[in-house]
C-alpha cells in the first residue's frame, strides 16, 4: 500500500518554492516527481524586449548567488556576436571575481547543507567565513551580492590599490579554514552517517541524466567547462579538476570543499601573473549586433551554464536562451530519490539528497503577481516596477 | 576530432537530409536537418560519435516555423537543429535515447507549444497550472504588455 506525501512548495528544508511529490511505502520512497512552476519569471522573453546593455543587468538577477557567472556568460556571448574579445587584464580580473564568487557560493552551500542535516554550529562557522569573502567582493567590485562587475568588453573597474594585499590575507585565512573543515567532516560521525551511501548516482546514470558541475564530478566524471572549453584565459591558469568516486552525498561535500581550495590557488596565480594594460574595451552602450548566433558556456558554481543567443541585426537579441545548472541537475533528484533493488531511500534522506545538488530554483524557473483576494494574476511590466519603486501603488489596468 | 571531421562524418552518413552544416567557431558546430531525420541524427551523434551528454534543448520561433535545437557534447558543442511548420508543430521525442531531454522537452512544449511525439509525460513544468491553453509566451506573437486573463477572471 503506497501513499503520496507532498513536500513543499514551502518547506523548511528549502527556502525556495519547490514541490516534491513522493510516493512512499512506509518510510521507503518508491517514486518521486518534482514541480518547479512557482516562480517562473519569463526572463528569456524580457531579454528579447530590451537593448543589450539593459539585458546585462537583467541576467545578473537570474540568480543572486551566481550573478558573476551569469553576467560573464552574457558578456562573452555578446562579445562573440560583435567579434570582440576582452583585453588580457580584464580576462584575469574576471577570473578573480568568478573564483571569489565560487568560494562564496560553495561556503554558502556547505553551511546550508549542514544546516539541513541539523548541524547548526557548522552552518554558523561556514557563513562567518563567507562574510570575509563577501567583504573582498565588495572591495573589488563595489557590491556585496549583485556585483555588476563584468561589462560588455571587459570589467567595470580595475583592482583598487590596496585590494591585492587584503585579498591575499583573506585567501590565506580561507585556505586554513578549509583544511580545518575537511578534518571536521572526516571525523564527525553524524555527518558521515547522514551522507555516506546516501543519494547514489552512478557515473553512467549521471551522464544519461545530463548532470553538470560539482554534482557530476562527485560521480567521478572529469568534466569542467573551464578545462574542456576554456572561455576567459582558463587555459593559461593551472588548476586541478576535483573528482570523487563514491557517487554519494559525501562525495558532493568533498568535491565542493576541495574545489574551494583550488579556487584559492587560481586567484593567487591570477594575482601573481596579472597582465598590465586596459581593463575594458570602449564599446558604446547602445549598438546593433550583426546577424548571427553565438553560444557561450561558463562553469558557474553549480555547473555548466549556457547562454545561446540569436541576433537578427537589431539592437536587442532576437532570441536569448539561458540554461541554468540546477535545471540540468533536477532530473537526477528524481532518480536518486527512487528506491530500487538494494538501494533504499527513506523520507529522512530527502533533505540530504535534494540539498546535494545545490538547488537554486529561482534560476531554473525564470514576474507574475498573484492577487489571491481577487483570484487573478497579472504580469507586472517594467513600468509597474518603476512606479512601485517610486512609492506609488501599482494600478491595476 | 576536429569540427570539420565531425561535420563531414554526419553529412556523409545522412546525405540530403542535412539542410545546412557549418562551423560557428572553435568547438561549436551547427547542423540543420529535416524533421524526419532529426531523431536519427541525434542517435548517431550520441551513440556513434560519443556525444552522449545532452546539455539542453532550445526552442526558437523563426517567424514562419518553429525550431528545436539539441545541444550535445562536453568539449565539442554540437547544435542539431530542425524546423517544423507552425500549424500543428510536432517533433520526435529523444527521451528514449537521452533521458536528460525529458525536462527540456516539457519546457519547450510549455513555452512554444511544440508537441514531442513519444514523450512519456508531456505535462506543464514552468507555466502555472491555470495558464490558458494555446497561449505560448515565447512565440513572437505573444506580448507581455497585453496579458491575457487567467483563471477565467475578467481581463486585466
Per-residue pLDDT of chain A (397 residues; tens, 9 = 90+): 778 888 878 877 777 788 888 888 888 888 888 877 777 888 899 999 999 999 999 999 988 888 999 999 999 999 999 999 999 999 999 999 999 999 999 999 999 999 888 889 999 999 999 999 999 999 999 998 899 999 999 999 999 999 999 999 999 999 999 999 999 999 999 899 999 999 899 999 999 999 999 999 999 999 999 999 999 989 999 999 999 999 999 999 999 999 999 999 999 999 999 999 999 999 998 999 999 999 999 999 999 999 999 999 999 999 999 999 988 888 888 888 888 877 888 888 888 888 877 777 665 554 333 333 444 444 445 555 455 555 544 444 3
Strand A319-323 to A368-371 pairing: unpaired
Domain ranges of chain A: 40-364, 369-397
Residue among B27, B104, B126 whose CB faces A229 most closely: B27
Check the CA dihedral B103-B105-B110-B112 and report its sign. Answer: positive
pLDDT at position A368, please?
Answer: 36
Give contacts of A328 with chain B, Cβ < 8 Å.
55-56, 100
Convert the pLDDT of each residue in B118-137 to its tens digit: 998 888 888 877 788 888 98
Query: Cβ–Cβ of A210/B28 closer than 8 Å?
Result: no
pLDDT at position A12, please?
Answer: 72
ipTM of the assembly? Answer: 0.91
Buried b (16+ CB within 10 A) or exposed e, A142-156: eeeeebebbbbbbbb
Residue among A331, A378, A379 whose CB faces B102 most closely: A331
pLDDT at position B147, please?
Answer: 56
For chain B positions 72-131, those within 8 Å of chain A (CB to CB) are: 74-75, 77, 79, 98-104, 107, 111, 124-129
Query: Cβ–Cβ of B156/A207 closer than 8 Å?
Result: no
Whether B153 has its CB under 8 Å from any CB of chain A: the answer is yes
pLDDT at position A395, please?
Answer: 45
For chain B positions 26-65, those within 8 Å of chain A (CB to CB) are: 27-28, 30, 52-56, 58, 60-61
- Tallying the residues shown for chain A, one arrives at 397
Q: Which CATH number does B3-117 carry? A: 3.30.460.80
- What is the greatest pairwise CA distance in chain A? 70
Q: Which of B46, B58, B36 is nearest to B117 (CA)?
A: B36
Q: Which of A2, A117, A107, A139 is nearest to A350 (CA)?
A: A117
How far, CA to CA in Å, does A271 sit from each of A121, A149, A171, A175, B88? 33, 17, 11, 16, 56
Give contacts of B149 with chain A, Cβ < 8 Å.
376
Q: Phi and psi of A300, rounded to 5°?
A: -75, 165
Crossing angle, helix A67-82 and helix A52-59, to 10 degrees? 160
Closest chain A CA to residue B153: A376
Q: Which CATH number does A40-364 carry? A: 1.10.645.10
Amino acid at each position: 500500500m503506497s501513499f503520496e506525501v507532498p513536500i513543499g512548495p514551502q518547506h523548511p528544508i528549502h527556502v525556495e518554492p519547490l514541490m516534491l511529490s513522493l510516493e512512499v511505502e512506509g518510510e521507503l520512497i518508491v517514486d518521486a516527481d518534482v514541480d518547479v512552476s512557482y516562480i517562473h519569471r519569463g526572463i528569456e522573453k524580457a531579454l528579447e524586449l530590451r537593448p543589450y546593455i539593459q539585458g546585462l543587468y537583467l541576467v545578473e538577477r537570474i540568480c543572486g548567488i551566481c550573478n558573476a557567472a551569469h553576467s560573464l556568460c552574457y558578456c562573452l556571448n555578446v562579445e562573440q556576436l560583435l567579434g570582440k574579445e576582452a583585453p588580457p587584464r580584464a580576462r584575469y580580473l574576471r577570473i578573480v571575481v568568478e573564483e571569489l564568487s565560487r568560494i562564496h557560493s560553495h561556503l554558502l552551500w556547505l553551511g546550508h547543507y549542514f544546516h539541513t542535516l541539523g548541524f547548526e554550529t557548522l552552518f554558523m562557522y561556514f557563513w562567518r567565513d563567507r562574510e570575509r569573502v563577501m567583504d573582498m567582493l565588495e572591495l573589488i567590485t563595489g557590491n556585496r551580492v549583485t556585483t555588476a562587475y563584468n561589462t560588455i568588453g571587459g570589467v567595470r573597474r580595475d583592482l583598487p590599490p590596496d585590494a591585492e594585499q587584503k585579498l591575499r590575507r583573506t585567501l590565506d585565512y580561507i585556505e586554513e579554514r578549509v583544511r580545518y573543515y575537511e578534518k571536521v567532516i572526516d571525523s564527525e560521525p553524524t555527518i558521515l552517517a547522514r551522507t555516506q551511501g546516501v543519494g547514489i548516482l552512478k557515473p553512467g546514470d549521471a551522464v544519461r541524466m545530463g548532470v553538470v558541475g560539482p554534482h557530476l564530478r562527485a560521480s567521478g566524471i572529469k568534466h569542467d567547462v573551464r578545462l574542456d572549453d576554456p572561455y576567459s584565459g582558463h587555459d593559461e591558469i593551472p588548476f586541478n579538476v576535483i573528482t570523487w568516486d563514491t557517487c554519494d552525498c559525501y562525495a558532493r561535500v568533498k568535491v565542493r570543499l576541495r574545489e574551494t581550495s583550488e579556487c584559492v590557488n587560481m586567484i593567487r596565480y591570477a594575482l601573481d601573473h596579472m597582465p598590465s594594460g586596459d581593463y575594458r574595451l570602449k564599446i558604446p552602450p547602445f549598438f546593433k549586433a550583426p546577424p548571427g548566433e553565438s553560444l557561450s558556456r561558463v562553469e558557474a558554481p553549480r555547473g555548466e551554464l549556457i547562454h545561446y543567443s540569436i541576433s537578427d541585426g537589431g539592437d536587442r537579441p532576437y532570441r536569448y536562451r539561458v540554461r541554468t545548472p540546477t535545471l540540468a541537475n533536477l532530473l537526477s533528484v528524481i532518480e536518486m530519490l527512487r528506491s530500487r533493488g538494494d538501494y533504499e531511500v527513506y523520507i529522512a534522506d530527502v533533505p540530504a539528497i535534494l540539498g546535494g545538488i545545490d538547488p537554486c530554483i529561482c534560476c531554473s524557473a525564470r514576474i507574475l503577481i498573484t492577487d489571491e483576494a481577487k483570484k487573478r494574476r497579472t504580469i507586472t511590466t517594467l513600468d509597474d516596477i518603476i512606479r512601485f519603486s517610486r512609492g506609488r501603488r501599482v494600478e491595476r489596468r | 576530432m576536429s569540427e570539420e571531421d565531425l561535420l563531414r562524418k554526419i553529412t556523409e552518413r545522412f546525405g540530403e537530409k542535412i539542410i545546412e552544416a557549418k562551423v560557428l567557431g572553435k568547438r561549436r558546430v551547427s547542423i540543420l536537418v529535416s524533421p524526419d531525420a532529426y531523431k536519427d541524427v541525434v542517435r548517431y551523434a550520441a551513440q556513434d560519435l560519443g556525444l552522449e551528454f545532452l546539455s539542453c534543448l532550445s526552442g526558437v520561433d523563426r517567424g514562419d516555423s518553429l525550431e528545436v535545437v539539441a545541444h550535445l557534447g562536453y568539449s565539442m558543442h554540437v547544435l542539431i537543429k530542425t524546423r517544423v511548420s507552425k500549424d500543428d508543430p510536432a517533433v520526435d521525442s529523444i527521451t528514449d535515447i537521452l533521458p536528460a531531454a525529458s525536462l527540456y522537452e516539457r519546457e519547450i512544449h510549455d513555452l512554444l507549444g511544440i508537441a514531442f511525439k513519444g514523450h512519456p509525460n508531456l505535462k506543464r513544468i514552468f507555466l502555472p497550472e491555470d495558464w490558458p491553453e494555446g497561449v505560448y509566451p515565447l512565440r513572437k506573437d505573444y506580448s507581455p504588455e497585453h496579458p491575457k486573463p487567467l483563471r477565467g477572471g475578467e481581463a486585466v
